[in-house]
A and B are shown apart, each in its own frame.
Chain A
């Protein structure tokens, strides 16, 4: 399987600190992400992994630190700006739009690319109709890719958990992102579902060159597919490097991996 060449750093997290009242979620975190790589973030529950992604996305505003994306540095990220810059994400607890079906959820991911104004949409005939069909075509390719054709018109609330996770991924893919932040995409899945999800993640990285930042608990998956790993514990960074380096790091072992007896 030909893999893309890993490029230069495109995302830089600089000394991010995040507090909620007295609780320190993140303390002085710095790491970078290179283009086309698969970067994993691992650590025990409550280590601050999701909070880190939330800072990148603009959901939380860190008290200190900054984030640099493709040379531009920001004190805090604005969700819309982040989306426009090409960073998409999935959520640990699924953030699907329960009132809509699969197609509509995926199409909502296309909203930044849809340019017709409200009057054109009101009339529908002409520009809006064409645009709708065009983006529908793109979304159908994602549906093919994720193998969810049979559930196109099903309201997402009625889908089994594994399929909902795929739709979540699909919606992020619909944004044609350069960087994809995945928050525990394989949580709660059985072995086959995990294999499917791995395949999707790797394919996305391969075919589209999308940079992947991945939070995951399954060590087998992490060691297999990631290029580099960041380890967090109680909001601090305790390891950073290739899977091999991290696996043999003493701090990481005592905090998270454990030793065999």
Chain B
């Protein structure tokens, strides 16, 4: 029972991290109808920015206190992400407003390649550290119920907490603020939103900035755990099944989807994997999403698509 629970908890933690990345997807899709393949590249870019800034700051400004350096680095990285959001809106989205989904998807793919290359050109392509003071030692829980206790990674726990907080804030933002309402209006119908005076361009920049913020937080957490390296952008590909499962337009869907995928992956690897020669993690999430789609094409919480003739 113990190992099973450990795997389960490990899966939940990983799932939470997937959810973080998936959140970025959902935000942008909800508000602009664009499926942002570049989300993973944004996570990497943001993480690289923060990692390098936190390295360079002490040498340039003489600041040495870790907490301060980290905060400033975070803010600088955030500023960079807002700039990125603005540029993407200006140079790409604004020009492709009336194109079909496939074109926009391809454009974000192009942005992915560009950001991967650009990020590594400016910030370098080694593995970098992010050290935000996350607790690194593992913890043993429930020592009285299970012999030896359940091994839980404290860092993962902290990450999950941060992710949960972020989701709560974002959900509240969408539901209760006027900007949030405007975002939902834009997602529903661009033209109608424009006609009641909602500034489309500004909304898109806001959304992509928020997505950038989410990417930064995700990058920070993943980077702190794994080190900031190129493979981080591959994480985005993992987030796709999460988004599909949860429904492209649902914030809670991204969370639930992430948890299901995270747990499913870990459990299947441990319990089913050995029969298949191992390594089934690379496709499990996708096949799960696929099977799900056959039964319920709009995902768990997504909106049903009705074709009118």
Contacts and interface: CB of A to CB of B under 8 A. Distances in A.
A256 interface: no
A193 to B, nearest CB: 23
A127 interface: no
B99 to A, nearest CB: 14
Main secondary structure of the interface of B (DSSP, over half): loop
Contacts of B309: 50, 54, 59, 91, 93, 95
Q: Main SS of the interface on chain A?
A: loop
A50 B308 CA distance: 11
A183 to B, nearest CB: 9
A50 B309 CA distance: 9
B306 to A, nearest CB: 9
A41 B178 CA distance: 47
Interface in A25-52: 50
Interface residues of B, number: 1
Contacts of A59: 309
A93 B308 CA distance: 10
Nearest to A91: B309
Nearest to B306: A20
Contacts of A91: 309
B303 to A, nearest CB: 14
A34 B181 CA distance: 55
Contacts of A54: 309
Nearest to B309: A59
A78 to B, nearest CB: 16
A119 B309 CA distance: 34
Contacts of A95: 309
A248 B302 CA distance: 50
A4 to B, nearest CB: 31
Nearest to B308: A93
Interface in A88-126: 91, 93, 95
Interface in B266-309: 309
A95 B309 CA distance: 8
B30 to A, nearest CB: 24
Interface in A43-94: 50, 54, 59, 91, 93
A54 B309 CA distance: 9
Nearest to A183: B309
A93 B309 CA distance: 7
A186 to B, nearest CB: 19
Nearest to B307: A59
Interface of B: 309
Which 6 A-B residue pairings sit nearest by Cβ, starting from the closest?
A59-B309, A91-B309, A95-B309, A54-B309, A93-B309, A50-B309
6 contacts: A50-B309, A54-B309, A59-B309, A91-B309, A93-B309, A95-B309
